[in-house]
């Protein structure tokens, strides 16, 4: 164990110091804020050094599509947060997802994934990969036997996302990982909604953990980035593919992300607390038929929540009472009447955001497709920010009265 590991056992200490390589303190800058290395290319002092730079795996000072020192610091911290050897930052969550998938499977391989995934991930699984000759089977994530049932001899990868959008359904990470390990199948978990504060998939045996760093990791609605973490050999394989795909992150974004990460545990603890308070309040409100939030005892997978999550996270969703037409109108009115909570996509920022799922997707999905994706016309997703929880509740009380 290195000097750092025992001192950084608490996550709040880790996010403040975990980007430094304590085994090589001389390589660390004495400046307390990281430098933003904007160089696109780096000079070698000799032919031997040039050869080293060009051939080393992931040299941070060679050519900036391959990485840069600001990015390296940010990756070191995120890897530690996810209990992984290595991390690769990408230009967006979808950059991390597409680069990972295109690195790990080839034509003739088979993927098992969920029927509920982030829209962009679903597009890769339903459209891009099948067009490249990769077979994909989608299963109900709530049924862990469905993952085993769908596996075939050519299954190379299982992709999970938990909690998933928009109904906060959970996947049993330990059950999926155990089975996949027995069969030699790689597993990848999108951990965006939980964040490493509320759930660490690698602690349950998952191989690769992916985030849209745009959300909780960045935390201030001012950057787009993604990250994938895992064992060094697999991350290096994904990095090699990223060189050809050009999905690298910028040095400035790496800096902003590192700055956001310093407060990740504080922010997520507060957002989770506020989301639980809102979930309890809304569950008791007569205008609301259903509240989806894993930390509520009424969540159908609450026992699984207790096994694999610390808290429910900052996102909940609600369904309005009444038939589809009446509930649809009520949901629309609610979202339009809020004063503090902003009406915008995304989550994980300091501001509370709400979206009415059906009106967001009515241009791209038919009512039948929405039903299949579990999107009720009356459903509103709420992503708690850092405002005072009582103020948020007052805002919602007034909007519900409207
Ligand atoms: C936002 C999101 C993504 C995509 O991330 P971008 O940074 O927007 O590319 C992937 N998965 C989940 C769960 C997300 O919420």
| H-type alpha helices, 105-202 | 119-123, 129-131, 144-150, 173-183, 195-198
Are 353 and 228 within one domain? no
Q: Is the CB of 258 under 6 A from ligand 1?
A: no
Are 87 and 33 within one domain? yes
Q: What is the CATH number of the domain that holds 338?
A: 3.90.1150.10
The Å distance, Cα 89 to ligand 1 centre, comes to 13
Q: Is the CB of 118 under 6 A from ligand 1?
A: yes
Are 308 and 214 within one domain? no
Are 269 and 255 within one domain? no
**For ligand 1, atom 7: residue with the closest CA:** 93
Are 214 and 288 within one domain? no
The Å distance, Cα 401 to ligand 1 centre, comes to 33
Active site residues: 65, 118, 190, 215
Contact between residue 332 and residue 359 where contact means Cβ atoms under 8 Å apart: yes
**For ligand 1, atom 2: residue with the closest CA:** 212
Q: Give residues with Cβ within 8 angstroms of 115, minimum separation 6.
A: 138, 139, 140, 141, 372, 373
Residue 49, pLDDT score: 94
Query: 82 vs 88, 105, 146, 248, 291, CA distance in Å?
Result: 12, 23, 27, 20, 29
Burial class (CB within 10 angstroms; exposed 0-12, middle 13-18, buried 19+) of 396: buried
Q: What is the CATH number of the domain that holds 236?
A: 3.40.640.10
Residue 200, Cβ neighbours under 10 Å: how many? 22
Q: Is the CB of 214 under 6 A from ligand 1?
A: yes
Are 144 and 279 within one domain? no
Are 169 and 292 within one domain? no
Are 236 and 340 within one domain? no
pTM score? 0.96
Are 234 and 330 within one domain? no
Task: Tell me if residue 218 falls in helix, strand or coil.
Answer: coil
- Which of 230, 261, 292 is a domain's end point? 261
Are 146 and 15 within one domain? yes
The Å distance, Cα 199 to ligand 1 centre, comes to 17
Residue 402, pLDDT score: 84
* Number of structural domains the chain divides into: 2
| Cα–Cα dist 276/109, whole Å | 41
C-alpha 138, offset from chain centre: 19
- Block means of pLDDT (10 residues each) for the chain, length 402 residues? 62 92 68 93 95 91 95 97 98 98 98 96 97 98 97 98 95 98 98 98 98 98 98 98 98 98 98 98 96 98 98 97 90 95 96 92 78 84 97 97 88
Q: Is the CB of 192 under 6 A from ligand 1?
A: yes
Q: Is the CB of 190 under 6 A from ligand 1?
A: yes
Range of the domain at 337: 264-401
The Å distance, Cα 111 to ligand 1 centre, comes to 20
| Cα–Cα dist 292/375, whole Å | 12
C-alpha 37, offset from chain centre: 26
Residue among 170, 214, 256 whose CB has most ligand 1 atoms within 8 A, to mutate: 214
The Å distance, Cα 121 to ligand 1 centre, comes to 8
Are 282 and 250 within one domain? no
Tokens of 345: 């996509």
Burial class (CB within 10 angstroms; exposed 0-12, middle 13-18, buried 19+) of 321: middle
- Which of 207, 230, 261 is a domain's end point? 261
Are 36 and 134 within one domain? yes
Q: Is the CB of 92 under 6 A from ligand 1?
A: yes
**For ligand 1, atom 5: residue with the closest CA:** 93
Q: Is the CB of 216 under 6 A from ligand 1?
A: no
- Which of 208, 241, 261 is a domain's end point? 261
């Amino acid at each position: 164990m290195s000097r750092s590991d025992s001192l950084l056992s608490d996550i709040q200490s880790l996010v403040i110091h975990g980007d430094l390589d304590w085994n090589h303190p001389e390589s660390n800058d004495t400046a307390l804020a990281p430098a933003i290395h904007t160089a696109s290319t780096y000079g070698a002092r000799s032919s031997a050094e040039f050869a080293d730079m060009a051939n080393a795996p992931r040299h941070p000072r060679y050519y900036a599509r391959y990485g840069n020192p600001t990015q390296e610091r940010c990756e070191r911290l995120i890897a530690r947060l996810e209990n992984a050897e290595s991390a690769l930052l990408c230009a967006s969550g979808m950059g991390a997802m597409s680069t990972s998938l295109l690195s790990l499977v080839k034509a003739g391989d088979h993927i098992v994934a969920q029927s509920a995934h982030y829209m962009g991930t679903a597009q890769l699984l339903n459209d891009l990969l099948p067009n490249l000759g990769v077979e994909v089977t989608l299963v109900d994530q709530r049924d862990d036997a469905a993952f085993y049932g769908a596996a075939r001899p050519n299954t190379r990868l299982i992709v999970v996302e938990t909690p998933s959008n928009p109904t906060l359904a959970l996947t049993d990470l330990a059950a999926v990982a155990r089975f996949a390990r027995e069969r030699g199948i790689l597993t990848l978990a999108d951990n965006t909604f939980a964040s490493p504060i509320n759930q660490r998939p690698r602690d349950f045996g998952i191989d690769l953990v992916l985030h849209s760093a745009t959300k909780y990791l960045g935390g201030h609605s001012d950057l787009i980035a993604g990250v994938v973490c895992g064992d060094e050999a697999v991350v290096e394989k994904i990095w090699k593919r990223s060189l050809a795909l050009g999905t690298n992150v910028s040095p400035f974004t790496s800096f902003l992300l590192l700055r956001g990460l310093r407060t990740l545990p504080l922010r997520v603890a507060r957002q989770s607390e506020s989301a639980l308070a809102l979930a309890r309040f809304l569950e008791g409100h007569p205008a609301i038929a259903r509240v989806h939030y894993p930390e509520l005892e009424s969540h159908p997978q609450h026992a699984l929540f207790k096994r694999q999550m610390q808290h429910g996270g900052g996102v909940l969703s609600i369904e309005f009472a009444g038939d589809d037409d009446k509930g649809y109108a009520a949901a629309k009115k609610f979202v339009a009447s809020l004063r503090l909570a902003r009406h915008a996509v995304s989550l994980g920022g300091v501001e509370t955001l709400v979206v009415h799922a059906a009106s967001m997707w009515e241009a791209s999905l038919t009512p039948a497709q929405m039903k299949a994706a579990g999107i009720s016309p009356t459903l509103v997703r709420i992503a708690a920010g850092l405002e005072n929880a009582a103020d948020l509740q007052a805002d919602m009380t007034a909007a519900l009265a409207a």
